[in-house]
Structure 1
Amino acid sequence: MKRLIRKLLPSLALCTATLAGAAEESPLTQAAMQAFWWGDFPALEQQNAMLRQPGHVGADGVVELEWFRIGVAQVFNASHPNQEAYLQELEKLTLQWTREYPKSALAHVLYARVLVAHGWAYRGGGYIKDVPPEAWKDFEAYLHRATQYLLDHADVALSDSYGHVVLLNISRGMGWDSKQIWDVINDGLKRNPDDVTLYFNALTGLLPKWGGDNKALDQFIRKATEQTKATFGTGMYARLYSAAAEDEYGHTLFQGSQVHWPTMKQSYEDMLARYPSDGRRNRYAYMACLAKDKPTLLAQLDLLGDKVTAESWGPNPQRSLEGCLRWARQG
């Protein structure tokens, strides 16, 4: 394994600057990213085991596992001059971990996750029409390999809901139906009832740009909201539709989807009562602007005071914020 780590380390110099900005979001993200870069699997295992325990929901309502997984994803998604060689070395490294730690769910999941990343490197993130036929075959082959690997090692790999997150990432490329997706989500929640990242990973594949539709998306969000009431009230409705806006609808969320503003408004109120967050209140104000609800926009701006920041205000956030403030000031 030391040989593999030495081969990966030159990538650190090439990629650390790119990753640092994203990793600053949370110390958990930074710690996971650094442990993975340096091939410190015991540290990754320890972090994952701790965060899988009940109660690791941050003050803002974000599950702390999400920050850990973002750090891990920084390594999978790093840009490298020779992406193929880089991914091949990651495959070797994570496969070695599965052999050294055969009873570790995380080791098996990370190997499957590399296979998924390798597949998406062939496909790319563009439209289907832009994917070369041979690249499409490689994409599907890697997703099949990842799926089969998780199923072959299900007794270990799927004891951790991270394995179900990877299955949901696979579902986006394989066109699984709603029942299959809910089966994966619910099985993952049996392993970790706090792991609401399952809903967010499933959401992406239900967006119209990935072959979904507005009705199915709305049904999914309402069902997820019902399932998470004990912890978040109706808060998941706003969070999931906000994620849908981020991934697809942008400023046209209220024209392009079936989102219902009174329901979203109550959802934000529920969420902020349970998990106060300046970032989420900024997002609430932005959504009020999109919904043309000036009284709610003004109320949120007043509550925010000098904590209004552009980051949560959608595409081209600074201009979006400026436009909403201008509209708010109009009589």
Structure 2
Amino acid sequence: MSVHLPPGRPVFEPADRIPALGALREAVRRRDWDAVSAAFAAHPDEDDRALACRVVADIPDYQGFLRQAVDRDPHDPLARSLLADRLIQAGWARRTGHRAQYVSQQQFEDFHAHLRRAEILLIDVCAEHPRYALAWYLRVITSRGLQLGLEETRRRYERLAEHHPHHYSGRQQLLQQLCPKWGGTWEAAHGFAAECAKASPPGSPNGALIAVAQMEQYLELREKEGDRVAETYLRAAPARQALVDAAAHSVLHPAARAEAYQSVNAHSAFAAAHCAAGRHAEAAPHFRALGDRASEFPWGYIGTADHEAEFARHRKTALAKG
């Protein structure tokens, strides 16, 4: 694992910190479908492919390029999946990340219309290519967004897990569905996270689901009962021990791949949970592994909701203490 002090301002955009994803972004901007396709072929790891898919989906104004790729080869699962994710991201932008009570009826209608268009593409991909991880992963997202219910979201996740049992990105999406804000329970959310962490191979990022579940409950407690109650929850001995054990089995394990794309998200989740609990010394190993790399989630859950400011502030404190 690479260990170094962060040289400066954190870099949040994956395509700015991972050269292969930067090249993929440029291929999209050049409208070079062959280069895009080759970039995905060069990524055998399905979690790396999921992040690469999101990099493409987050590039504005290139939906037409993706539609042209589908029109050229209507049976290409990659082209359809990338277009579907672009529709998903465009729809979610219309919905915004606010709680449902703050989203207008028109926003919901626009959101669902985009997700239904994505679903049409993804249903065909899954029927023709039942092992295709990208499509099943995206269908876990559309199920939640279309409010199809926990049973359907879990069914889709299980189809993904049949062939890709430790798919971190897919598990993150099911975990969101299991949280109370999407109709689940904290017992179910924490239980699923613990199950994934325990069953995952040493060094995989799945242990970070423990931290993600804790940060989700922390945020809900902050919003409903205030900072003190939320921090007390995270400071409890069982919550701390669960994080320490999960990190030792995942991103701090000798088998962990520092170059794995999801390692940044995983280290960020662990670091944020420790920092929100005031345990900056225990966050230090995660910040050292990150260096100047960062992910937006879940730093926006803490303090000012300015993810860059919160990351930089807590990183400085953690490296001084640990």
Q: Taking structure 2 as the reference length, what is the TM-score of the superposition?
A: 0.70
Paired amino acid for 1:266: D
- What corresponds to 2:306 in structure 1? none
- What corresponds to 2:249 in structure 1? 270
Secondary structure class of the residue paired with 1:35: helix
Q: Does 1:68 align with 2:52?
A: yes
Q: 1:163 aligns with which of 125, 128, 135?
A: 135
Matches within 5 A, 1:31-42: 31-42=23-34
2:53 and 2:231 mapped to 1: Cα distance? Answer: 27
2:81 and 2:288 mapped to 1: Cα distance? Answer: 43
2:279 and 2:162 mapped to 1: Cα distance? Answer: 39
Matches within 5 A, 1:227-306: 227-228=199-200, 230-232=201-203, 236-237=206-207, 239-244=208-213, 249=218, 252=230, 255=233, 260-271=239-250, 272-273=252-253, 274-275=255-256, 277=258, 287-288=273-274, 290=276, 297=281, 301=284
Paired amino acid for 2:83: Y
Paired amino acid for 1:236: N
Q: Percent identity?
A: 19
Secondary structure class of the residue paired with 1:260: helix
Secondary structure class of the residue paired with 1:121: helix
CA contact (8 A) 2:28 2:56 kept: yes
Matches within 5 A, 1:177-256: 177-193=149-165, 195-228=167-200, 230-232=201-203, 236-237=206-207, 239-244=208-213, 249=218, 252=230, 255=233
Secondary structure class of the residue paired with 1:43: helix
1:256 and 1:222 mapped to 2: Cα distance? Answer: 16
Paired amino acid for 1:263: A
Paired amino acid for 1:105: P
- Deviates further, 193-202 or 41-50: 193-202
Structure 1 pair 192–111 and aligned structure 2 pair: CA distance change class (3 A): same
1:24 and 1:37 mapped to 2: Cα distance? Answer: 15
Paired amino acid for 1:275: A
Q: 1:49 aligns with which of 34, 41, 52?
A: 41
Question: Once superposed, which parts of structure 1, at least 4 consecutive aligned residues long, lie more than 6 Å away?
Answer: 256-259, 278-283, 303-308
Structure 1 pair 155–286 and aligned structure 2 pair: CA distance change class (3 A): closer
- What corresponds to 1:124 in structure 2? 96
Q: Does 1:320 align with 2:304?
A: no
Gaps of 5+ in 1: 1-18, 58-62, 79-85
